[in-house]
Structure 1
């Protein structure tokens, strides 16, 4: 390598290092300067995040985000971009954190940093109460299954979900090809399923907790099929590349777990501690 090329390479590395260092504390500085933590949430994922009777965002994830903001000494602001946009990463300072029931998989870890797990819940099949054609995972084969677009459930139905990146177990796919019906929100999927199996979709794959929440509000309309498909870890996520911010949020979450805050929020919403 010539001396000129060597100097150019060294200069490039120095610029890159300086840029990385400058970005490292960018999020924390931004949050403290504007005195606001901006969290992205899904507004139609009860009881984790949803609009309550007063048309205010509420839920398990929201309470945890408030607790994190309190530890930072700032206020909380929530924003609700589509799930696909959240999961695509490259937030460019628009949002600070996703405490929004996100599961790390092989695609998301390329564009987001996953800080720490904060709860786990089983993935389940939901169909109508009167549908006698779906009684096990194998019965999904050839059926039209509703799922939130960009979610881990969609990737599972594609036989392409790897939870090993989050320390999860290897998944079993007990069904062959299905027809996937992606929805912008699970609200819309459940509305279509409520019309009757086969009308628009035959079933939904979802989080057991949100499925039971919806079932309780429409008694006799839906049922969960058999045993859970798999146990799904849910993590707090941030945009990629800010190590200082990742460590700060990890430290806060560890403190909230240690002092019982996470367990208390879980008891409030679910009656059990899902954060252990």
Structure 2
């Protein structure tokens, strides 16, 4: 083999080795200079359409920071939550910085990279509802949730959170009728019709619930104490160890340099990232 041919082969092999080590997802991001993020389109203040018809919120800003540190632009997609949590993304999306709770069922098909905030799950009812005054009162009631969410698993009494220090879930009800929705927007629209018209309540994130209560005074109220504490983690499709490691490194940086804390203060008014 002549020296020139050998040099060409050596360069190709070296390039192949580096790219292979980087992993399929990281290779794609570096090649396209694009990070594809999935979020819930109607989950304020974490992700929502602003008055310019652009996706905005805490999750969006965190994703922008991750993209910047990868030297990539951010592309946002909003498939249904049920599709996202089913896994097997087949390269359609790179990451879900999207307020996802690592429960046992999702952990079978997704890899959870790093915790980035926590918030309690709560019960919300129509403001004029006088029949539900505690969490136990939802027994035999019709409760709305976003389909595929950990809240749906909670109402099925099958929620097992897979995260350090996660406590066993206590269920204050025997059975409820679950009303699954494609988005929380639709669930809140039905609840706004009044107590028992279509649904009796919603299980949701405390912070999103507060945002909706503030936006539409006199429509909704919180009931009782928080149902359980929800850790939220960044998720990716299963099986790309190199991408998981690189993403974990960047998220650790964002936490260490105070970026996550600043974004939390900006959107939530307090630091929920610790």
TM-score of the pair, normalised by structure 1: 0.91
Residue matched to 2:259: 261
Q: Distance in 2 between matches of 1:167 and 1:118?
A: 15
Q: Secondary structure at the match of 1:173?
A: coil
The gaps in structure 2 that reach 5 residues or longer are 1-18
**What are the Cα deviations for residues 87-131 of structure 1, in whole angstroms up to 9, with x where unaligned?**
000001110000000001111000000001100000000001111
Superposition pairs for residues 34-73 of structure 1, below 5 Å?
34-73=32-71
Pick from 113, 116, 123 the counterpart of residue 121 of structure 2: 123
Q: Distance in 1 between matches of 2:161 and 2:91?
A: 27
How many equivalent residue pairs?
A: 256
Residue matched to 2:12: none
Task: Report the CA distance between 1:22 and its aligned residue.
Answer: 5.1
The gaps in structure 1 that reach 5 residues or longer are 1-20
Task: Report the CA distance between 1:164 and its aligned residue.
Answer: 3.9
Answer yes or no: is the 8 Å Cα contact 2:163–2:231 preserved in 1. Answer: no
Answer yes or no: is the 8 Å Cα contact 1:43–1:57 preserved in 2. Answer: yes
Q: Cα gap change, 1:164/1:237 in structure 2, threshold over 3 Å: closer, same or farther?
A: closer
Q: Secondary structure at the match of 1:172?
A: coil
Residue matched to 2:107: 109
Task: Report the CA distance between 1:221 and its aligned residue.
Answer: 1.2
RMSD: 1.2
Q: Which range is displaced more, 217-226 or 161-170?
A: 161-170
Q: Secondary structure at the match of 1:234?
A: strand
Task: Report the CA distance between 1:165 and its aligned residue.
Answer: 4.7
Q: Cα gap change, 1:164/1:112 in structure 2, threshold over 3 Å: closer, same or farther?
A: closer
Task: Report the CA distance between 1:136 and its aligned residue.
Answer: 1.1
Q: Secondary structure at the match of 2:112?
A: strand
Q: Distance in 2 between matches of 1:23 and 1:145?
A: 47
